[in-house]
Amino acid sequence: MELSGKMREYWVANLKLLIGCLVVWFIASYLFGIILVEPLNAIQIGGYKLGFWFAQQGSIYTFLVLIFFYAWRMNKLDRQYDVHED
């Protein structure tokens, strides 16, 4: 099945958004929570080491923000390419 030009643009925009969200999630959870935990532990916020905070809560908060951001952005994309469900 061949996609029309407009649907191909929509799919490319969707993939760019998805990849961007996955990169942010990877950075917050894997990079900050595992790889860079020691340097981040030198910084304290509210009495907790920042590396520990990212490993325990920061990645979860980041994931929740990404869910709402993705839904908001996809609604804008759906309206832009006239594939919304109103």
Q: Residue 5, Cα to own-chain centre: how many angstroms?
A: 27
Residue ranges per domain, the chain?
Answer: 21-80
Phi, psi angles (nearest 5°) of residue 49: -70, 140
Predicted local distance difference test score (pLDDT) of residue 1? 54
* CA distance linking residue 81 with residue 13, whole number of Å: 10
Q: Helix, strand or coil for residue 46?
A: coil
Alpha-carbon distance values, 4 to 7, 16, 22, 29, 81 (Å): 5, 18, 27, 37, 12
Q: What is the pLDDT of residues 13-63, one digit of tens each?
A: 999 999 999 999 999 989 998 899 999 999 998 888 998 888 888 889 999
Tokens for 9, please give them.
Answer: 């643009």
Cα dihedral value 43, 47, 50, 53, nearest 10:
180
Strand partners, 34: none
Confidence band (pLDDT; 50, 70, 90) for 77? very high
